[in-house]
Amino acid sequence: MSKIPTLPGITSTMVATSRLQMHVLSSGPADGEAVLFIHGNASSATFWEETMLALPAQFRAIAPDLRGYGETEDLLIDATRGCGDWVDDLIALIDTLGIDRCHAVGHSLGGVVLFNLIAAVPQRIITATLVAPGSPYGFGGCKGLNGELCWPDGAGSGGGTVNQAFVERMAAGDTTEEAGNAAPRVVMNTFYWKPPFRPAREEALLASMLSEKVGPQRYPGDFKPSPHWPGVAPGVWGPINAISPLYVGDAVERFVAAEPKPPILWVRGADDQIVSDMSLFDVGTLGQLGILPDWPGADAHPPQPMIGQTRAVLERYAAAGGRFRELVFAECGHTPYIEHPDQFNAAFHDHLRNR
């Protein structure tokens, strides 16, 4: 049973794969058409429960806790493989469950994982739904629509860019608002959705957020000093290093060249402060706004154009024979499926049925 209370209709199990023990939430008929849900950073499968239960009757929902999160076995993430550990874990999971092909949905960091999953096994993905995904080039430390590194060592991305006060509050399991902008509850209610929205299951979602494994080799990951602004470069462990552009390798090219090409639905909120072309979690933005000192300027380290990069890559995917649809929800932050469930489910279910 999950340590976080689940909604009626959700089953919590541990699945032993060839790689690790994964905690998995599921719903729907065992013989239904599988839909794989991939959660984002500082969350877990818990975030998907309402969306899982809203699926049409013929679908089976599978939502694992990724390595490094929730109740899945606590094994380290080798960031030098980019999203490789997560991708291999997910492939091992669907192999263990006997799923040949599935629909796949990825939110935020999970969207970056989904780009990489399509690049690895496109023949196993029926449709893909990207919900406020991170850029396919990763998070932070890159510029331009082609994801060029700002600095050769990836400075400005990775574990050293995360607010250490927030990390300390995460490690302490702080459920209060006493630490202000460093408090996980405050961060969640300020940035995960557009204020003043508050989800009905706020306590369960906060518990999900706090279930991430924290430590020097875990969240957010290690880091190295850099001669380049802002003075820190990615280390080699943990989730935030794993989504550094330093380690993206040829994943974008493999995604664009994938065959077959599953149709893609891209849903995002117009008021997203986490993934945007002026993300408040990107040091380039913070430098330009004067929040981080000694910013070297827009030529050297501009705000990462996350939306522009995603659109440019998806347009290349379409030009190579794929197709995608972009939906932007008004009055919506980083979590469209929680903030506007009816609007999201209508588009999502249509995408699943009309592939």
- Run means of pLDDT, 10 residues per run, the chain, 355 residues: 91 98 98 98 98 98 98 98 98 98 98 98 98 98 98 98 97 97 98 98 98 96 98 98 98 98 98 98 98 98 98 98 98 98 98 89
Indicate the residue type of 167.
V
Say which residue the tokens 């690790």 belong to: 20
Give me the pLDDT at residue 194, please: 98
CATH classification for the domain delimited by 11-353, as one of 3.40.50.2000, 3.40.50.1820, 3.40.50.300, 3.40.225.10:
3.40.50.1820
Which pTM value belongs to this model? 0.98
- Residue 100 confidence (pLDDT): 98
| Closest alpha carbon to 160 in 86, 70, 238, 268 | 238
- Per-residue pLDDT, 260: 98
Contacts of 141 (CB under 8 A, 6+ apart): 149, 150, 151, 154, 155, 156, 157, 158, 234, 244, 245, 246, 283, 304
DSSP three-state, residue 78: strand
pLDDT value for 1:
62
Place of tokens 């400075």: 155
